Amino acid sequence: MNGYSGTVNLTDRQRDYAVALSLYAVLSITLYAVVRMTDIPSSVCDGYFPYADAMMDGTFPYTHDVWVYDDWNTWEYPPLAYVFILLPRLLASSVAGYQAVYIAMTFLFFLLGLWCAERLARIFGRRADGIMVIYTFLMVLMFEFQADRFDIIPAVMTMLVMVFVMERKYVPAFLLLAVATLVKLYPAIFLPILIVYMLSRGERKEAVKGLAAFIALCLAVCAVFYLCGSDPLSFAKYHTDRPLEIESVAASIIEILSLLGLTDVSYAYDFGSDNIYGSASSAVSGLMLPLAVSVILLFYAVFAVRAARREETPDALGKDTGGMCMLVLLTFILISSVFSGQYIIWLIPFVILSFLICDDKSGRIRNLNLFAVAAALTQIDFLVNFGFRGEGEAMSVPGILVLAARNTVMIVLYALVIRQVLLGRGGAEAEGRADLNPEAE
């Protein structure tokens, strides 16, 4: 008779998945218990559930204000964000049940991102287990922002977009990019880069098809909302009217100047965030969006000119495409009037991608370390400036210094990425693994 030991022998791949998912599950259960047993604020419970409950009661998005975060609020997110906000409410009617289902949904997106990390590693000829560990580490480092916000959804979607682009599945890539844009808006900044990349490869027909798919889906979704009597673009005005949020780079500089007695600032809670006010912030806040757009357009132009002149090999151009995506995203985040902690999550797919395409070992490790430090400082900022401080209260000196440190690290990372992308320092693998469309794995 054959004996049976009762043990299960897992492959290395299965073990990697088991460890990552077990860690995420333990953290999910812990977060759920903490929120349920305390009165700690929760975006899922205090914000998303009221929106979802209003929709279940027949209120269509963008038609009437909703009692959210203990106040009457407008619908501040892009249209498809409310699909993901509504989904858990279809399965649970109580706040506790809604939170449990919502965390389970983020768990599924974490799993999809883990698969994308593995897939990216195999496409670029890297060891998958190491990349999966980096992905898990970075996601866990920002865990409560993963499970109590919806930023993991567009972040993982953009990660899957890059996988599709590498595999020349362009129409699915652009359709998914459109969905991600309609969830959080920022993925739209990658569209011109991908179009230029495809045109530079002579894939004009595919570029037209991809762009048409992107535009068609965006128009179709907006048309549905307009036909239902709402304005799905009204959220844009909400965000363009926002003052300087305390975590933004510009606000951080002004806060340091206030410590030195060079300017005065006051604090208030509105637009769903803590913001600073004063003569300096009033002078700066209106300039941030035009400045960010101008810098991003400049990077687009540089990328297009270099691609048109064909100064680089296809492999180097592929490397530039991934690097340029990270560069414009950093620009969008750092030259902005808002820099909420969860924005760090948006960068994780491109930190992974840059780690894969950079042949300079010290450079890619340095970038990864800087990003990890910035994420850790974001957690300290969250504790000091939001855990120990009431809404609208003045910031403490430690709080201002922590934010200054985090933003300084991000600026250093930004400068290094500019150097790597525009000056070609720390480029693609010499073995030809940098092309975003490898012919074979």
Q: Mean pLDDT, to the nearest integer, of 256-274?
A: 87
Q: Mean pLDDT, to the nearest integer, of 230-246?
A: 84
State the pLDDT at residue 283.
87
Is the pLDDT assigned to residue 431 strictly greater than 60?
A: no
Of 10-19, 51-60, 373-382, 394-403, which range is least confident? 10-19
Q: Mean pLDDT, to the nearest integer, of 113-132?
A: 92
For residue 321, what are the CA distances in angstroms to 29, 316, 344? 39, 9, 20
State the pLDDT at residue 427.
43
Rounded CA-CA distance 11/8 in Å is 10
Is the pLDDT assigned to residue 428 strictly greater than 60?
A: no
> pTM score, two decimals?
0.90
The HSE-up count of residue 130 (CA atoms within 13 Å, CB side) is 10
Rounded CA-CA distance 326/320 in Å is 10
Q: Which of 52, 57, 63, 51 is nearest to 228 (CA)?
A: 63
Is the pLDDT assigned to residue 310 strictly greater than 80?
A: no
Q: What is the bridge-based pairing of β-strands 66-68 and 71-73?
A: antiparallel
Of 8-12, 55-59, 371-375, which range is least confident? 8-12
How far separated are the first and last CA of the chain, in Å rounded? Answer: 44
Q: Which band of pLDDT confidence, cut at 50, 70 and 90, is reported for residue 205?
A: very high
Share the mean pLDDT of the chain.
88
Q: Mean pLDDT, to the nearest integer, of 13-22?
A: 89
State the pLDDT at residue 359.
75
